[in-house]
Chain A
Amino acid sequence: MKQKKWILPVIVLLAAILLPVVFHIGLSNMSILISVLLYMYWASSWNIMGGYTGLFSLGNGIYIGLGAYLTGCLFVYANLTPYAGMLVAALLTGVFSIIIGYPTFRLQSIFYSLATFALLGMMKIIFTNFQTIFGVNVGGSNGFKFSPGNDPLNMQFSSKMPYYYIVLGMLVAVLLVSHWITRSKRGFYFRAISANEGAAASLGVSVLSLKMQAQFISAFFSAMGGGFYCMFISYVDPSKMFGVELSINVMIMCVVGGANTLWGPVIGAGLIYTINRIVTMYAPSSLNGLATLISGLILMICVFFLPGGLIPFLADEREKRAMSRRKATLQKQSGGGGGIHE
């Protein structure tokens, strides 16, 4: 049974690897694929804190944006190759997330969400209004632009295919880490904290330290994605990175697909991105916010009808069957008589 579980993901992964090789995919379609994968990646990163640990952040754009700016600045001003730059940026962002997390973790969940949301707004104000931050020119409201030239060492390629594989690899990495987390002590602690902090603490869980770990891991991965995005388009736009839309979209993708599940963010991101894409393609250009409106409506529908998200809903029946099977074997093992305790 365990073997079976791996078959579908491996087939999907192989298909994703072979896709650009087998089919000729045009430039714009390739960009779309890369964006979808990047959103899947960001939603999965959010899931580690927002889904498993219940740290319902409304400001993951903080980490995405910081990762983007840091990677870009390290590349432009320190000549650091983006492959290393992304890692350094992600580590620094992770540390930053802990610094801002420490005072906010003590807040009740809704106030934590509001605090992250407020901080996102502050980041946007800072990065659009200041031309230089700590003596580094970040471009102010024009954003941070640079022309990296064509060098694979600088993560610049003549075709888009390498980007596709890089972001696919990143997605696989974040999913593997998430999978490992859910099966480890840390993952159980994360979920216990999410359900009931006080009860978790009474069972020896160091709530504050674990929240910091969840936030660090999540911010780390979010920032890596930001760094990738920055190198992909050679531009960081503060109003996009620190805008409400990106952070909310990432959250919605995860919640719609199923927060607290491994595949929820992936399915949710694919679904929401596709819908947004179709809507923007066919909607009249005068209706600017239509895509956001529709993803908001989808969220409402999900909250009403699929409170756990899409994946739990789909998995429910299968899980139920598996559960009754497990129960049956358990009853057989215990011989039916071991239940009564006297």
Chain B
Amino acid sequence: MSEHSGEAILSGKGVTKRFGGLVAVNHVDIHLNKHEILGLIGPNGAGKTTLFNMLSGTMPMSEGELRYHGKVIPKPRSNELCKMGIGRTYQICQPFSNLTVLENVMVGAYIRHGKTSEARDAAYQVLKRVGLEQAAHSGGSALTLPQLKRMEVARALATEPDVLLLDEVIAGLNPTEVERIMELIREIRAGGMSIIIIEHVMRAMMNLSDRIVVINQGTKIAEGLPAEIASNPLVIESYLGGGKH
């Protein structure tokens, strides 16, 4: 396997998660290069989100090592990783329902802008960037699904991360919205961020990703360029061969 440790911005080695006797993620090595869009795919229950949770510090690892900019992070915690520059979204959108959309994004912006007026300005800029400024003063719980997904992205962007972990921001959107959010993701990368994205929509993944990692039953079964992955028999068998994509 190719070693990119020199330019990897975020990497996990032997990342493992056990829930009692169940091994949800089993010794997965994964790395994200600078300015790369890395796709993470796999069937339902493969352990993608669990792996994500560990990479973002939301869930402690049972075993394994996380490196950011080459440095080992001994005890990754989500709030500290966020300060370091790793932002994430959630598959199930988790708005702060007691705050407006702008305020939701401000919570993210505060980490770089301590003053309320500055945080508000920064949050508004991010909302503009994701095309949500019209909904800035709506309640966080009054949004449609595509808007919610944009708000999730906006909140993570407001923390001004170097690495962005996107958990299914495309699933559930209609084709026009898919096009728009893919455009947004490309723009974000062009702005200098490195992105790991979990997605079920294969067409979008093949289109968007520079590289793809395939997880099945907690183990990494393949890694490579989208074209390689699409023709990999192991992947086709375990993932695409299941009758649906």
Separation of A140 and B17 alpha carbons in the complex (Å): 53
| Chain A positions within 8 Å of B87 at CB level | 202-203
Q: Is there contact, CB below 8 Å, between B128 and A189?
A: no
Interface residues of A in 298-342 (CB under 8 A from B): 323, 326-327, 330-331, 334, 338-342
Which of the residues A185, A192, A196, A206 comes within 8 Å of B116, measured between beta carbons?
A185
CA distance A201 to B131 in the complex (A): 25
Known: A201-B78, A203-B159, A204-B79. A330 touches B134 (CB 8 A): yes
How far is it, in angstroms, between the C-alpha of A100 and the C-alpha of B133 when the chains are bound?
43
Q: Are B82 and A204 in contact (CB under 8 A)?
A: yes
Give the chain A neighbours of B58 by CB distance below 8 A.
198, 201-202
| B83 engages A188 (CB within 8 Å) | no
Known contacts A199-B90, A202-B88; A339/B107 CB under 8 A: no
What A residues does B44 contact at CB under 8 A?
none
Interfacial chain B residues near A326, Cβ < 8 Å: 137
Output the nearest chain B residue to A209 by Cβ-Cβ distance: B79
**A205 within 8 Å of B (CB atoms):** yes
Give the contacting residue for B110; candidates A183, A189, A323, A330; CB below 8 A: A189
The reply to whether B83 and A204 contact each other, CB–CB distance below 8 Å, is yes
A1-35 residues with Cβ-Cβ distance < 8 A to B are none
Report chain B residues within 8 Å CB of A198.
58, 78, 90, 94
A338 to B127, CA, bound (A): 12
Whether B133 lies near A203 (C-beta < 8 A) is: no
Which of B64-72, B98-106, B216-224 interfaces with chain A? B98-106
- Is the Cβ of A196 less than 8 Å from the Cβ of B79? no
Q: Does A194 contact B (CB under 8 A)?
A: yes
A191, A196, A199, A340 — most chain B CB neighbours (10 Å) = A199
A297 at the interface (CB under 8 A from B): no
User: Given A185-B114, A191-B96, A192-B99, is A200 in contact with B131 using a C-beta cutoff of 8 Å?
Assistant: no
CB of B11 closer than 8 Å to a CB of A = no
Q: A338-B133, A341-B131, A341-B180 are in contact. Are A260 and B98 (CB under 8 A)?
A: yes
Q: Does B33 contact A (CB under 8 A)?
A: no
B169 interfacial by beta-carbon distance below 8 Å: no
Q: Which residues in B have their C-beta under 8 angstroms from that of A253?
A: none
Nearest A residue (CB) for B137:
A326
Chain B, 115-135, contact with A by CB distance < 8 Å: what is the 0/1 string? Answer: 110010000000011110110
A191–B183 CA distance with the chains assembled, in angstroms: 32
For A206, the chain B residues whose CB sits under 8 A away are 79
Closest partner residue, chain A, to B155 (CB atom) = A203
Smallest Cβ distance from A342 to chain B, in angstroms? 7
Selected from B83, B98, B134, B156, the residue in CB contact (under 8 A) with A339 is: B134
- Identify which of A183, A194, A330, A334 contacts B137 (C-beta below 8 A): A330
Chain A residues closer than 8 Å to B79, beta-carbon distance: 201-207
Bound Cα distance A327, B106 (Å): 19
- Is A341's CB under 8 angstroms from B111's CB? no
- Alpha-carbon separation in the docked complex, A334 to B58 (Å): 38
User: CB of A132 within 8 A of chain B?
Assistant: no
Q: Which residues of B contact A183 (CB under 8 A)?
A: 116
Is B61 on the interface with A (CB-CB < 8 A)? no
Please give, as numbers and ranges, the residues of chain A lying within 8 Å of B140 by CB-CB distance.
195
- B103 contact set on A, CB distance < 8 A: 188, 191
Contact A188 B133 (CB under 8 A): no
Task: Indicate whether A184 reaches chain B with its CB closer than 8 angstroms.
Answer: yes
Q: How far is the CB of A37 from chain B (nearest CB, A)?
A: 28
The chain B residue sitting closest to A341, CB to CB, is B131
CB distance from A189 to the nearest CB of B (A): 7
CB distance from B79 to the nearest CB of A (A): 5
CB distance from A305 to the nearest CB of B (A): 19
In the assembled complex, the Cα of A15 lies from the Cα of B58 at a distance in Å of 51
A195 touches B96 (CB 8 A): yes
Given contacts A192-B96, A341-B130, contact A202 B78 (CB under 8 A): yes
**113-153 of chain A: CB within 8 A of chain B:** none
Q: Are B107 and A188 in contact (CB under 8 A)?
A: yes
- Report the bound CA distance from A200 to B158 in whole Å: 13
Instruction: Using CB atoms, name the residue of chain A closest to B132.
Output: A341
* Contact across chains for A342 and B134 when beta carbons are under 8 A apart: no
The answer on a CB contact under 8 Å between B107 and A184 is no
Q: Of A183, A199, A204, A323, which is in contact with the most chain B CB atoms at under 10 Å from its CB?
A: A204
> Would you call B50 an interface residue if the criterion is a C-beta within 8 Å of the partner chain's C-beta atoms?
no
A-B contact pairs, 6 of them (CB 8 A): A185-B110, A185-B116, A192-B104, A198-B94, A201-B78, A202-B58
A sample of 14 more A-B contacts (CB under 8 A), given A195-B98, A204-B82, is A188-B116, A191-B98, A191-B99, A191-B103, A192-B104, A199-B96, A199-B155, A203-B87, A203-B156, A203-B158, A204-B79, A330-B136, A339-B131, A341-B180
Q: Nearest 10 A-B pairs (CB), nearest first?
A: A341-B131, A204-B111, A204-B82, A195-B96, A199-B94, A203-B108, A201-B78, A192-B107, A201-B79, A185-B110
